[in-house]
Amino acid sequence: MSRYETAIDLDNPNNSQTQLISLVGRDQNVLDVGCAAGDTAEMLIERGCRVSGVDIDAAAAEPAREVLDELVIADIDRSPLTEHFKAETFDAIIFGDVLEHLVDPWAALRDATTLLRPGGRVLVSIPNVAHAAVRLSLLGGRWDYTQTGLLDRTHLRFFTLDGVCELMESSDLTIEVLRSTVLDPMAVQEIAVHADLLPPTLVEWVRHQPRALDYQYIVVARLLAPGERRGPRPQLEPAVAYDSARLQDRFSQESSREVEVRHQLLTLRDHLVGLEAIVTATQMRARRARARHQHTESRLRKVRAELRAVVEEVEQVASSRRPRRNARALAQRLRQATRGAKPEGRG
């Protein structure tokens, strides 16, 4: 049994084979590149499609011979598809988890496009090397190849979303559908994440990064018509909502607790900063009040000195021979002293 032979559940949209089968449609001439045991081909045939297949592994593909119109055993890096099939033969060509295994997927894709009928499409599924499981594994210093999955030991090329799109567009294709299957990093069985060695908040942060839960990308593209300009890429559609796939486990719980503690500490800090501001403002008002008090004291000392001088003059006038004449001068002095003793306005 091939390690790529699987049971396909068409009721599960979060599966790349389900997506490819649905997107091919009915009554199409299809080439399934990497057909393996023919699981995808059988489902397409049930939908009225006529399917030919290509695979590098003769033993793994032998069961598919009974259902395929034609089975070719070939290494398409060395023996391209155009050596085995006629031009403009197929409505749809499927590369289901194949391109990442090729030495030159760009050349293989360009070669395949010549086999498309007018209006034909290329359908691709390809793993996302920037999935959260790979990111977390790298944070732990690990990159371990596995039998299947994201780090399959037979993968020769690795792609992110932009890389997949650029691969398709390099063959004069324009992307019509862009989807992803979605999987939480803790649900990826083939990669040892060793999350216990990482802070829970870091695990949760990686989970919430853009494209981190995209496990595989599914792309449908057609050839540009002569003179046609490529439009913008379509919006990526996850097969299921990210929130529904994101696990709520001890990492998310511990992260929530840490976030709550951090929030409490920040709130306390804000209160302390506010109190510090109040203390600073109070100290400034007190310094201004002391300055006003010192200024008032200085003026009062001056007034008291002047009043003492006036008192002395009053005594002199009282004892003088010409009190009336000296009294006028004294009154003038007294008015001046009184003006100096008027209270200042409040600060």
Architecture of the CATH domain 16-247: 3-Layer(aba) Sandwich (3.40)
Condensed to tens digits (0 to 9), the pLDDT of residues 246-259 reads 999 888 888 777 77
DSSP state of 225: P
Residue 304, both tokens? 């008291």
> What is the pLDDT, as a whole number, of residue 347?
43
Q: Could you read off the pLDDT of 49-58 as tens digits, one per residue?
A: 999 999 999 9
- List, edge to edge, every strand of the sheet that includes 116-127: 70-73, 50-55, 29-33, 90-96, 116-127, 214-223, 173-182, 237-238
Q: Which value, to the nearest 10 degrees, does the dihedral of the CA atoms of residues 197, 199, 202, 207 take?
A: 70
> Rounded CA gap, 101 and 55, in Å?
12
Structure tokens at 97: 């988890």
State whether residue 321 is helix, strand or coil.
coil
- Which residues lie below 8 Å from residue 145, measured CB to CB, with a gap of 6+? 151, 152, 153
Question: For 40-104, what is the HEC assignment?
Answer: HHHHHHHCCCEEEEEECCHHHHHHHHHCCCEEEECCCCCCCHHHCCCCCCEEEEEEECCHHHCCC
What are the start-end ranges of the E strands in the chain?
29-33, 50-55, 70-73, 90-96, 116-127, 173-182, 214-223, 237-238
How far is 30 from 7, CA to CA, in rounded Å? 20
Residue 249 is predicted with a pLDDT of 87
State how far the Cα of 31 lies from the Cα of 53, in Å rounded to an integer.
Answer: 6
Region label for 89, one of left (φ > 0), alpha (ψ between -120 and 50) or beta (otherwise) = alpha
Alpha-carbon gap, residue 184 to 251, rounded angstroms: 12
Identify residue 297 by its one-letter amino acid code. Answer: E
Domain boundaries, the chain: 16-247, 260-340
Residue 36 is predicted with a pLDDT of: 95
For the chain, which residues score pLDDT lower than 70? 1-6, 318, 321-328, 330, 333-334, 336-347
Instruction: Convert the pLDDT of each residue in 258-284 to its tens digit.
Output: 777 777 778 778 888 888 888 888 888
pTM above 0.85, yes or no: no
How far lies 279's CA from each of 273, 274, 282, in Å?
Answer: 10, 9, 5
The 8-class DSSP code of residue 235 comes to P
Q: What's residue 161's pLDDT?
A: 98
Question: Could you read off the pLDDT of 308-330 as tens digits, one per residue?
Answer: 877 777 777 767 766 666 666 76
